[in-house]
């Protein structure tokens, strides 16, 4: 029952003290639900409605992530900008 216990612990943490990532995901899921109902109301076809709702969810995910963290993608400190490309198949 390890999987079920982990799901319960995750659900409890989201409800009591969510992380920034969990807040962004919850906001995206809510946006998907609202967009899907809106597109159903204006009678879009199923495939268009679902694809558009997921697109709205991704947009909301990036916006909320930016508002919570202050940047879209964290910088990669480990990689060097001037590193030469090495092709392992054609040395």
State the pLDDT at residue 79: 59
Question: What's the Rg (C-alpha) of the chain?
Answer: 20
The pTM (predicted TM-score) of the whole model is 0.70
> Residue 4 domain-assigned?
no
Overall number of domains in the chain: 1
In a domain? residue 32 = yes
CA gap 85, 91 in Å, rounded: 11
Is 13 inside any structural domain? no
Q: Does residue 88 belong to any structural domain of this protein?
A: no
Digitized pLDDT (tens) for each residue of the chain, 91 residues in all: 689 999 898 889 888 988 888 899 999 999 999 999 999 888 888 999 999 999 999 999 999 989 988 877 666 666 555 567 677 777 5
In a domain, 43, yes or no: yes
The pLDDT assigned to 34 comes to 95
Its domain, for residue 60, covers: 21-69
In a domain, 60, yes or no: yes
Q: What is the pLDDT of residue 10?
A: 85
Q: What is the b/e burial string over 12-27, where b = at least 16 CB atoms within 10 angstroms of the residue's CB?
A: eeeeeeeeeeeebbeb
* DSSP label at residue 43: T
Q: How far apart, in whole angstroms, are the C-alpha atoms of residue 42 and residue 26? A: 25
């Amino acid at each position: 029952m390890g999987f079920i216990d982990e799901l319960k612990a995750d659900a409890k943490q989201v409800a009591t003290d969510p992380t920034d990532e969990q807040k962004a995901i919850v906001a995206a899921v809510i946006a998907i639900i609202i967009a899907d109902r809106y597109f159903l109301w204006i009678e879009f076809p199923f495939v268009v409605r679902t694809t558009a709702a997921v697109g709205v969810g991704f947009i909301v995910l990036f916006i909320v992530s930016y508002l919570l963290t202050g940047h879209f993608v964290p910088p990669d400190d480990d990689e060097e900008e001037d590193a030469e490309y090495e092709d392992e198949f054609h040395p």
